[in-house]
């Protein structure tokens, strides 16, 4: 069994039952819905109690439950550049605005990155008379680039004598 | 003159003057700093009054001022996949989470996309004892996919008689 | 079940029945034929009443009907660059004329894009003694690039104090 | 001198003079503006009388005028996939709708293509209370795929005896 | 059923029967052998009477016969650059000689292309004491690039008033 | 000096003098025009006497003459896939017809290739009331794949004892 | 049946029988082992008598035997760049030394190539106290680039009058 | 001025002076040599005091000193896959061993990554009678993937009510 | 049977049994766990005694055991660039630091590479109050680039007389 | 100065002087000509005494001499796949024969590679009445893949306790 087969099975059941993602994530609970959905789509791990709930909900075998609890090879669900327009727009935001984001974050925080691992994200619907808006709030830990060697006392040179 | 040369000139002046982006965007004002920086980096247009201010600040020629007011060929500043770690992390967020974002937005809003054109974005520094966080708030207009033909009365078939 | 399998099944039935697309879209109705065909080829969603009609026509299961009503991961039907000559010619039009289209639209409308989402398209056969012509009429909403921050009062800088 | 250098020079003059494309194409006349602009951007040839007018307008040397009259190596102005959002939307239309366009054109016309060479295109602004629209009318000659051998009497086999 | 499966079936039968392409194209007749072979390999359409003959020869079902009569998504049979040496040599001819072919055709015919659609091709074996030669004769209709707008009276500008 | 600079210089002179390729190849003579043009475009070597004639015609330095006599790094003049429509059509012919060409040549000649090195090519203009045609005659030596080991007596195994 | 399936079957039998390639090529004989192995791996054709022997050895059906006698679509067994270290080292030799090989062969032989078709290759184990060496001896026919037109009398120009 | 030009200048001076990297990093000090070298090669930032020392050593202008203190667009120094054999071997280690590294780290640490930002690295020369060895010690902070939503109380669903 | 199928079977059994990699490598023993895991994931060979143990542990057939003892086509388990964040961070280390590693190793050892074949690697968990660290120790034999010809007496020139 | 500029200068001098590679490598001596040529083309390092001789021969500055003595970023001289036919044929040999080479080397030597670093190569001209042949003799040290952990006593598990 590979993860894609499990994802396909889960989507088949969702379709047959006519469930929404809201229903599914309400049932499974315990973690942000966007992560639970990501896991069911094969891009994240479900921690054990959630994998158990998911298995109960979808009637999965214990091997399938165990697979949901594994860390998948992430990033397999999106061709790059994304051909799907909804996902492409996010890609385009990075493509067009990447240099400005880099400038503004580095000026505020110094050399480093916003973590994509210690990261959370929330979606809101923003009512607007001209058309509702998708509001996304992201928050990632800033990780300063570490200039190693300037704290512990540095070796004389790149190659130490063994 | 091509836009890359203007960008290089602007960055040379910024470096020589020792200016921060904060200083520059405070001087130019009138629009979100992330957009002004993007324009100075060659990825956006500066509207006329801002191009004028930028030209005054950097001592640009009128041709250079006019170029700042042009819509550039966007997306030239970021190799894809981005080799720079700070920008790559955003790319990775799309890569890994794209399918879940698609699922969750489509369930809430229906078929469509979050606009990358009618879109705004704000950065905040989120103090945190474990390490400050980069907080980003995005808001893009939801654009419903238009099923044309179901409003105006549809032609009998794909090909009308001319 | 994945969308490609449903597309294959639909094409198998179309072939066995000897149906034309005209027959199929006349039966399903309710939306522009080019969109209905796109949906049956796995690139668009069919709204519920049309999915129902399509399911009746092709004798699909309810799960298959539900799948037709899902937004697919679009863009999977065309390798890029397209190897098929008919589709390649459209690609070539973008490749060769892209810069001129950009210049002419931006001069008329300002900074922005023609939407590919709020978009419609019609085909006509244009009789011509030298050989009939394919006439395509496209109309997409112009979406002006939004210079956010210049309306609501701008934060002093990219990073607000939290 | 290479064509990119001539394009850069023309854009420099346009910027310095503050000319619009409308002004330029009105001055040069004689052909659809989108083609004239394409030629000035290095993607098409200007026929001799138009190259002469363009040279007069921009004050070009006779070598530069001659270069405008050459067929350039087309397709150099657009990275693929296009990173510029305005051009990308056209690319996306091909990507997502290519299969349906192929189905609909082939059913109407038979096996063949819409020519990208014997092709014309017009832009209109379509006023609309919800936001003006870009209207594009394309017309390309249908070129039927030629099943050679079924007219002239076919050789017995692929390899004739010499 | 997808076209690749039909191609595989046809090749299986050819192999089991020990037929040559010459035998097959003699049986099917009606069109140049190189096109008939291309169609059986999934790259072209067989017109109805030929599809019928092919179906009779190979013992195909009526659905398979109908599929042979469909225009396939062309260009799927050759990886690019071609890894097969025989096909690569043709690719190399384009790669190395493309610029000269362009120069020589444009000087003789003007701006335009040699059609790959209204095109025919013949193979001959050229006996030669130093080793026989493959002689290929191609003939494609020259399609002049159409400078639209210079015949019918041109709109004043790119954008007409609607 | 690199070959691209020499090509650019030659094209500059051609443009300034208003020479046609016919004039140039008539002057240089001695070899098929398509090869001479290819050499002047930096894709082939000119043999010494022709390099001398070319140098005299274009007023080249002796170093430039020597460079024309060098075998260039071939294949640098054509992006792949070719973005120029004239060259792309040849690429498309390979893409779509490659498998059939392979089948037909191998059935006639056996395992091997048509040489792209011992190869010649001629262009003719084929008058035709429906539009003149480009006629191309190619002839390449067939090179049979050599099954070594079946002539000279074969080593017992892949690895001989040294 | 496709060639990959036959290759897989052959490797399954080899594994089950515990045969070495030496055993297999000794049994089949008649051609250099490296070619026989290449054919069994789906990259070359086995001439009829060898295909027969191979079929007897592996217990293949007559269709499978016929497939071994077909020229496969070569080059499908190696991803490029090769991810396998053993094969990558050969690729690297080309990558790093290509320019020097070109210089040295062209200076000795003139313009042309070493044939990869009329080519043979032998492996030897070279005992060496510092570690045995792989010794490979290749020999390919030099094919001089043919400057056509300089022997037979050249047409006046690229385009002959038809 | 762009960073590549500064790198080139620094390497020119290093070469003219005959300095080793050891000499340079001894002079600049303050941080691990591998990072200082990386910065001088344009892949890292030098903190101010080190940029000052580097500027003094190389006789740089103040603008060049400021540029050394900027975070460059990282990752521009290595083509991927790396064509240089020394760097390729590291790439190959990732390519071949990536799946095992993932398995072993995730089993020990759980879901997460080894940081490439809070990371240090040391080189040692390991004397060995069979040939000295390069010993590399890396240490990166493990960053656990954060399952947000399971700590703070989760919103009922992906989309909160605004 | 192909290697991917065997890998899938092994992972299925591991999942069903609930075994850890630690348990598996303890059972198989005899070699560094990272190599054993790599072999079970299809990227390395298991030597015979270990393949036997692995077969006993997983209940494999003798053909499967034999396959574990084969050298696989390495490098198939990691898409490049890696989409999985854990593996990507290693790729990024090469991308960003490659040039510095090259400088530092070549200055210490001279021209050559660190072998990726005569190479070993160890993982340690480094407890750290700010978060435990992954410590990796690599050691690869330095292979000096061999300047052949300067030891044995060099031939007069590249081409010897045969 | 970058290495490409030095290569260009060397080739300019070679061309102006009318020197052959044989003359140049005879003058420089000391190492196999193919390596000396590779170094002059920017793909290898020249050891000091040879760099000195080369500098004297070409009249280089001391900085240029020093650059010849540096290990360049190898592999920059060959686009991949190579567009030049002479180099492509070598690439094709790897592409088509890679799997057989892997099988035959691994059966003889076991798991490992032929070194591309401890490697030498000789060219001979093989007179042959049917056309002279290029004979290439390569010899690379076989490097056995090291199964670390099975010699020194293995840690209990992937992660040692620190």
The percentage of residues in chain I with a pLDDT greater than 90, rounded to a whole number, is 89
pLDDT digits (tens, 9 = 90+) for G100-110: 999 999 999 99
CB atoms closer than 10 angstroms to residue G149: 21
- Asked if C62 and C7 sit in the same domain, the reply is yes
The domain total for chain I is 2
Q: Which residues of J touch H12 (CB under 8 A)?
A: 1, 63
Q: Which residues of I touch J113 (CB under 8 A)?
A: 117
B66 touches chain D (CB under 8 A): yes
By residue range, what is the domain housing residue B57? 3-68
Q: Do the chains H and G touch each other, judged by at least 3 C-beta pairs below 8 angstroms?
A: yes
- 6-35 of J, contacting G, C-beta below 8 A: 20-22, 33-35
Question: Which of I49 and B155 is assigned the larger pLDDT?
Answer: I49
The percentage of residues in chain C with a pLDDT greater than 70, rounded to a whole number, is 92
pLDDT digits (tens, 9 = 90+) for H49-74: 999 999 999 999 999 999 999 999 99
Categorize the per-residue pLDDT at G40 as very low, low, confident or very high, splitting at 50, 70 and 90. Answer: very high
Q: Is C123 within 8 Å of B154 when comparing Cβ atoms?
A: no
Mean pLDDT for chain F? Answer: 93
Question: Beta strand I159-161 with J112-126: parallel, antiparallel or unpaired?
Answer: parallel
- Asked if F10 and F64 sit in the same domain, the reply is yes
CA distance C66 to D95: 24
- Asked if E59 and E14 sit in the same domain, the reply is yes
Q: Is H83 within 8 Å of J66 when comparing Cβ atoms?
A: no
Q: What pLDDT does I127 receive? A: 96
Query: DSSP of chain J, one letter per residue?
Result: --HHHHHHHHHHHHHHHT--HHHHHHHH-SS-HHHHHHHHTTSSPPPHHHHHHHHHHHT--HHHHHHHTSPP-TTTT--SS--SHHHHHHHHHHHHHHHHHHHHHHHHH-SEEEEEEEEEEEEEEE--TT--EEEEEEEEEEEEPP-TTSSS---SSSEEE-
- Asked if J61 and J101 sit in the same domain, the reply is no
Query: Which residues, listed in sequence order, are joined to residue A136 by a DSSP beta bridge?
Result: A123, B138
Give the tokens for residue D112.
């063949």
Residue J145, min C-alpha distance to chain H (Å): 13
Query: DSSP of G27-68, one letter per residue?
Result: HH-SS-HHHHHHHHTTSSPPPHHHHHHHHHHHT--HHHHHHH
pTM, entire model: 0.95
pLDDT digits (tens, 9 = 90+) for F110-140: 999 999 999 999 999 999 999 999 999 999 9
Our measurement of the distance from residue H53's CA atom to the centroid of its chain's CA atoms, rounded to an integer in Å, reads: 20
In a domain, E77, yes or no: no
Cβ proximity of F121 and E51 under 8 Å = no
- Asked if F17 and F58 sit in the same domain, the reply is yes
CA distance B132 to A112: 12
Categorize the per-residue pLDDT at J160 as very low, low, confident or very high, splitting at 50, 70 and 90. Answer: low
Categorize the per-residue pLDDT at B148 as very low, low, confident or very high, splitting at 50, 70 and 90. Answer: confident
Which regions of G52-144 does DSSP assign to beta strands (E)?
112-126, 133-144
Q: Is B84 within 8 Å of H70 when comparing Cβ atoms?
A: no
Question: Beta strand D159-161 with E112-126: parallel, antiparallel or unpaired?
Answer: parallel
Query: Which of H1, H62, H159 lies nearest to residue B12, judging by beta carbons?
Result: H1
Query: Does position F162 have pLDDT exceeding 60, yes or no?
Result: no
For D72, name the nearest residue in chain C, comparing CA atoms only.
C96
Query: Does position A160 have pLDDT exceeding 90, yes or no?
Result: no
In a domain, J76, yes or no: no
Mean pLDDT for chain B? Answer: 93
Q: What pLDDT does A148 receive? A: 85
CA dihedral sign, ordered D91, D96, D97, D100: positive
Q: What pLDDT does I48 receive? A: 97
Categorize the per-residue pLDDT at B130 as very low, low, confident or very high, splitting at 50, 70 and 90. Answer: very high
- What's A138's domain CATH number? 3.30.1160.10
In a domain, I103, yes or no: yes
Which residue, of F18, F38, F68, is where some domain finishes?
F68
User: What are the strands of the beta sheet with E133-144, ordered from one edge?
Assistant: D159-161, E112-126, E133-144, F133-144, F112-126, G159-161
- What's H41's domain CATH number? 1.10.260.40
Which residue, of A68, A95, A114, is where some domain finishes?
A68
Q: What pLDDT does I156 receive? A: 41
In a domain, E151, yes or no: no
**Cis omega (within 30 of 0) for bond into G81:** yes
Q: What pLDDT does A118 receive? A: 95
Q: C83-95 burial string, b = 16+ CB within 10 Å, else e?
A: bbbbbbbbbbbbb
In a domain, H44, yes or no: yes
Catalytic residue among C5, C89, C124, C133: C89
Cβ proximity of I34 and I121 under 8 Å = yes
Q: By three-state DSSP, how is residue B83 classified?
A: coil
Question: Which of F15 and D150 is assigned the larger pLDDT?
Answer: F15
CA distance C71 to C17: 27
Q: What pLDDT does G158 receive? A: 54
Q: What are phi and psi of G143, to 5 degrees?
A: -110, 110
A74 labelled catalytic: no
Q: Which residues of E touch F20 (CB under 8 A)?
A: 107
Q: E109-142 burial string, b = 16+ CB within 10 Å, else e?
A: bebbbbbbbbbbbbbbbeeeeeebbbbbbbbbbb
pLDDT digits (tens, 9 = 90+) for C83-97: 999 999 999 999 999
ipTM score for this prediction: 0.93
Q: By three-state DSSP, how is residue D161 classified?
A: strand
In a domain, B97, yes or no: yes
Query: Does position B154 have pLDDT exceeding 50, yes or no?
Result: no
- Asked if E49 and E96 sit in the same domain, the reply is no
- Asked if G55 and G98 sit in the same domain, the reply is no
Q: Is I88 within 8 Å of B85 when comparing Cβ atoms?
A: no
Give the tokens for residue D4.
């990119």
Provide the Cα torsion D94, D100, D101, D106; round to 10°: 150
In a domain, I108, yes or no: yes
Choose among B158, D91, D98: nearest CA to C137: B158
The percentage of residues in chain I with a pLDDT greater than 70, rounded to a whole number, is 92
Q: What pLDDT does G149 receive? A: 79
Query: Which of F63, F71, F158 lies nearest to residue J15, judging by beta carbons?
Result: F63
Q: Which residues of A touch I12 (CB under 8 A)?
A: 1, 63
D85 touches chain A (CB under 8 A): yes
C125 labelled catalytic: no
pLDDT digits (tens, 9 = 90+) for F33-44: 999 999 999 999
Categorize the per-residue pLDDT at F160 as very low, low, confident or very high, splitting at 50, 70 and 90. Answer: low
- Asked if G7 and G64 sit in the same domain, the reply is yes
Mean pLDDT for chain I? Answer: 93
CA dihedral sign, ordered C148, C154, C156, C162: negative
- Asked if B58 and B115 sit in the same domain, the reply is no
CA distance G144 to F118: 7
In a domain, E115, yes or no: yes
- Asked if J8 and J62 sit in the same domain, the reply is yes
- Asked if C94 and C53 sit in the same domain, the reply is no
- Asked if I38 and I91 sit in the same domain, the reply is no
Q: What pLDDT does F154 receive? A: 42
Query: DSSP of F44-88, one letter per residue?
Result: SPPPHHHHHHHHHHHT--HHHHHHHTSPP-TTTT--SS--SHHHH
Catalytic residue among A5, A89, A106, A122: A89
Cβ proximity of J94 and G87 under 8 Å = yes
pLDDT digits (tens, 9 = 90+) for A106-150: 999 999 999 999 999 999 999 999 999 999 999 999 999 999 876
């Amino acid at each position: 069994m590979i993860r894609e087969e499990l994802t396909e099975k889960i989507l088949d059941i969702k379709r047959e039952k006519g469930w929404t993602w809201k229903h599914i994530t309400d049932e499974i609970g315990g973690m942000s819905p966007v992560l639970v959905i990501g896991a069911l789509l094969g891009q994240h791990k479900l921690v054990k109690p959630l994998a158990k709930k998911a298995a109960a909900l979808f009637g999965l075998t214990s091997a399938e439950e165990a697979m949901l609890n594994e860390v998948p090879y992430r990033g397999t669900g999106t061709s790059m550049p994304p051909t799907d327009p909804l996902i492409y727009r996010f890609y385009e935001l990075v493509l067009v605005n990447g240099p400005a984001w880099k400038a503004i974050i580095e000026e505020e925080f110094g050399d480093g990155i916003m973590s994509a691992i210690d990261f959370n994200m929330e979606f809101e619907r923003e009512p607007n008379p001209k058309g509702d808006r998708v509001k996304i709030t992201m928050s990632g830990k800033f990780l300063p680039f570490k200039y190693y060697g300037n704290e512990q006392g540095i070796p004389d040179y790149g190659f130490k004598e063994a």
